[in-house]
Amino acid sequence: MFNGMEHTAIASPDPKKLAQWYVDHLEFHINFEYAGNYFVKAKNGSMLEIIPSEGERGSNKMKDVGIRHLAIMTDDFDEGHKLLKSQNVQFLGEPYETMGNRLVFFADGDGNIVHLIHRQKPLP
């Protein structure tokens, strides 16, 4: 009956600008918009809905309560990392390897935590 997540929502002070950031940096495309809300879709079909925010941003630390990061799969970690560096993406640390997986954390256009990951072997 339940098929998994269709999308995750991110509240932004400028939804159009953040949606375009995902288009420009991570090869998403804007696939639907309405009333200041933007859906961006990745090659694998996963989507983000970017909605207008209200109020001030709370803290945004790696271990704060709530959703902490978005993981972006890549089939070529080195090229993906190189491209993001050339686009002056703000990295939160250096790339590293754990359990055969390569990853690096960075911030999107609003400062949300994202990480690039290449898994040696897909999760079961």
Q: Fold identical between 1-54 and 68-124?
A: yes
Percent above pLDDT 70 for the chain: 100
Whether the model clears a pTM of 0.85, i.e. scores above it, the answer is yes
Residue ranges per structural domain of the chain: 1-54, 68-124
Give me 39's structure tokens. 């859906």
Please tell us whether the domain made up of 1-54 is placed in CATH 3.10.450.50: no
How confident is the model at residue 60, as a pLDDT?
Answer: 79
Buried b (16+ CB within 10 A) or exposed e, 66-105: eeeebebebeebeebbebbeeeebebeeeeeeeeeebbbb
Give residue 63's pLDDT. 82
CATH 3.10.180.10 fits 68-124, yes or no: yes
Q: Walk along the chain (124 residues) in steps of 10 and give the mean pLDDT of each run.
A: 93 97 98 98 96 87 83 96 97 96 97 95 90
